[in-house]
Amino acid sequence: MPTKSVVVGSAVGLHARPAALISEVAGDLDAEVTLAMPGGEPVDASSALLIMTLGAKKGDTVEVASEDQGALDKIAALVEQDLDA
């Protein structure tokens, strides 16, 4: 499965608001997208609760994976943004 490593851009990390925004977009996609900390178990990007369990903080690297390159790029771009601004 294609993956892309991105750096978390939100000041609060992948906490409530950023996780909700990412999961909302991921849920609207026609492809499965997962997020994982390097070496960790991937979680479904359409679940805000599962995203928050990653414990990703600002500056942490997160691996985004999907069979759909467009979906992968869209979620990766969101992870890199400061969604809590």
Which candidate in 15, 33, 42, 62 is catalytic?
A: 15
pLDDT in tens, 53-85: 999 999 999 999 999 999 999 999 999 999 987
| 75 noted as active-site residue | no
Average pLDDT of the segment spanning 43-48: 98
**Mind listing the domains of the chain with CATH numbers?**
3-80 (3.30.1340.10)
Whole-prediction pTM value?
0.95
pLDDT in tens, 6-17: 999 999 999 999
pLDDT at residue number 42: 98
Q: Given 3-state DSSP classes, what are the helix, strand and coil percentages for the chain, each rounded to the nearest 5?
A: 35, 20, 45
Buried b / exposed e along 25-49 (16+ C-beta atoms within 10 A): bbeebeebbbbbbeeeebbebbbbe
